[in-house]
Structure 1
Amino acid sequence: MEPKGKRETSVTALARGLSILQCFDHPGAQLTVSEIARRVGLSQPTAWRLCSTLIEKGFLVKAPGGAALRVGAPAMTLGYAAIQGQDLPALARPYMDQLTAEARVTVSLSLCNGTEMLAVDQTIGSFVVPGQPIGWRASLASSSGGLAVLGILPPDQRRLAIEKIAAQNPAAWPRRKARIDRAAAYYADHDYIIVTDMFDGQYAATAIALIEGSGQNRRYWGLACSGLSTTWNEEALKPVGERLKRIRDLLQPAAAAMSVPAG
């Protein structure tokens, strides 16, 4: 029988165990129990009990030397099985749907292609910018997703992209440079951007960037939420930006493990 009152929808121990597994966020990661406890905000005895259960089930194993832990085969198998046959848009779509349903914002996923962003997927909220369907292209400096990508590009790639954008439209460059600089500073402080002057101030957006693949073989994506600026001012968009950050933290490990298509 269900207990009276509000039904409990989460299991604390399970949530903590999953948080521990999420600590191993790059290939070959090895962490001591003390490091894990510090990352997830638990006491060391609690962290050790949870790690012991994960070790028992094979999801964690002791690293050579026994002082640290690393991810075991069952956890890697689950991750590998989850991403096989899927691409980044397929992984992102459920989170886009959920964010649109809850916040009523339009969520757009776009791929960096040279100095442009190519719109790949979109979920429609209470407002959508006219003339920007899937397949629409925009300069990195003219889209919120592109501005987010510029904020994380390696310095050499960023400098080359900015030089090309400046050369494409010298008359518009001072305005574009100011927007790029503002977005880069905001990204550095918040891990997402907010832009409130798109299309002559008619709409505002917040965005984060995702990196698909690893090493030299990478692709850069922008995930953005937008709406009418009369409703979505900077303060209203800040909680949405925080939501985007959490989505990025969930998607980025799987995105980094993906193989980027040739060409």
Structure 2
Amino acid sequence: MCSMASNKDDRTFVTALARGLAVLRCFDRPRIELTTAEIARRTGLSQPTVWRLCYTLIESGYLVRAPAGAGLRIGAPALTLGYAAARGLDAPALALPYMQRILDRTGGSTTLSVRQGSEMVAVEQLNGDFVVRDQPIGWRAPLDTVSAGLAVLAALPATARETAIAAIDNPDAARRERHLARVDTAVRDFARDGTVRLGQILDGRYTAVAVPLFEKDTEPKQQWALTCGALTSSWTSKDLDRAAEVLIETRALLVPAFAALAE
């Protein structure tokens, strides 16, 4: 479903505009042509509302009627905006404004990391109310020890996940079993609510929630993840839920863009 941003308490928030943008977000590479009925299902909006929004977008050029059939496609102005946004950007540059938004909304430190072999490598980081010592940009950690790595593992197809786990150097049998159990939990959590949470970092002092920045059950060449975390003593369960909610919203925006950058 194409999520629609909303803030009922913000009087400057324009709901109609948000709905129109939600319609545009429904179009991606697997779904380049959609009917208004399909858009209504994906946005959760009523059919009459979707038709009025689509009519306005058609008249403005942001949607066009497909050459054959009853479908709609993205129009030239929307494609121009996408090209302007992506041209010259790499993944960290694309993610950074969204990372700042996560920090502003949660207060938690936010990290963008990418998988390299059996490790996750941090490539961009914004610190919240605390700084984790000895973890500057470029820090590395095995996939099964950090929430970002667990999020990547959880999103991979089962065979790719098994291959990735087998490549992790973990000679201690007891520790390996604990980490396999941690991966299993991450897979279940991600299937349930789209996030992976980990509260046993740095002797339990640090809690984090992460999301993969690629579609579930795919194996892109670059496997990115976004993490938000804070000191366990400063975050309540409500704070953690809020961070998870913000990450899910951000993931919905970034996954298609990251896929486009990889082409």
Given the two structures, how large is their TM-score scaled by the length of structure 2?
A: 0.89
Q: Which of 96, 99, 102 is the equivalent residue of 1:99? A: 102
TM-superposed CA distance for 1:210, in Å, is 0.6
- Distance change (3 Å), C-alpha of 1:198 and 1:246: same
* Aligned residue among 217, 229, 232 for 2:232: 229
- 1:185 counterpart = 2:224: no
Q: Confirm whether residue 50 of structure 1 aligns to residue 84 of structure 2.
A: no
Q: List gaps (5 residues or longer) in structure 1.
A: 1-5
The aligned amino acid for 1:78 is: L
What RMSD, in angstroms, separates the aligned Cα atoms of the two structures? Answer: 2.1
Q: Is the 8 A contact 1:196 1:234 kept in 2?
A: no
2:28: which partner in 1?
Answer: 25
Conservation of the 8 A alpha-carbon contact between 2:114 and 2:224: yes
State the distance in 2 between where 1:107 and 1:216 align: 24
Residue number in structure 2 paired with 1:209: 212
1:125 aligns with 128
The list of structure 1 runs, each at least 4 consecutive aligned residues, that deviate by more than 3 angstroms after superposition, is 166-171
- For residues 14-71 of structure 1, give each alpha carbon's deviation from its aligned partner in whole angstroms, at most 9, with x where no partner exists: 2211111011133552111122123223332221121112112221111232311111
Aligned to 1:114: 117
Q: Which residue of 2 aligns with 1:240?
A: 243
Deviation of 1:8 (Å): 3.4
CA distance in 2, matches of 1:216, 1:125: 31
Q: Distance in 1 between matches of 2:219 and 2:125?
A: 28
Q: 1:225 to 1:152 in 2, by over 3 A?
A: same
Of all paired residues, the percent bearing the same amino acid is: 49
2:166 pairs with 163, 166, 183, which one? 163
Moved more, 241-250 or 157-166: 157-166
Distance 1:31 1:241 in 2: 30
The SS at the match of 2:120 is strand
Q: How far off its partner does 1:7 sit?
A: 8.0
Q: 2:93 aligns with which of 86, 90, 94?
A: 90
Structure 2 CA distance for aligned equivalents of residues 82 and 210 of structure 1: 18
Distance 1:218 1:75 in 2: 27
Residue 81 (str. 1) matches residue 90 (str. 2): no
* Alignment partner, residue 40 of structure 1: 43
Q: Residue 66 of structure 1 aligns to which amino acid in structure 2?
A: G
CA distance in 1 between counterparts of 2:212 and 2:175 reads: 24
- 2:253 matched to 1:250? yes
Q: 1:54 to 1:151 in 2, by over 3 A?
A: same
What code does the residue aligned with 1:239 have? R
Q: What is residue 16 of structure 2 aligned with on the other side?
A: 13
**Is the Cα–Cα contact under 8 Å of residues 128 and 227 in structure 1 kept in the other structure?**
no
Q: Any idea what the Cα deviations from partners look like across 1:187-243, whole Å, max 9, x if unmatched? A: 11110011111122121110001139xx87531111111111122254431110110
Cα contact 1:194–1:234 (8 A) shared by 2: no
Alpha-carbon distance change, 104 to 170 in structure 1, aligned in 2, over 3 angstroms: same
Cα deviations by residue, 1:130-184 (Å, 9 ceiling, x for unpaired): 2111011000011111010001112222111111126555452012112111111
Provide the rounded CA distance (Å) in 1 between the counterparts of 2:208 and 2:178.
18
Preserved contact between residue 156 and residue 219 of structure 2 (Cα < 8 Å): no
User: Could you say if the C-alpha distance between residues 144 and 63 of structure 1 is closer, same or farther in structure 2, counting changes exceeding 3 Å?
Assistant: same
Q: Which has the larger radius of gyration?
A: 1
Number of residues of Structure 1 aligned to a counterpart in Structure 2: 253
Distance 1:168 1:90 in 2: 38
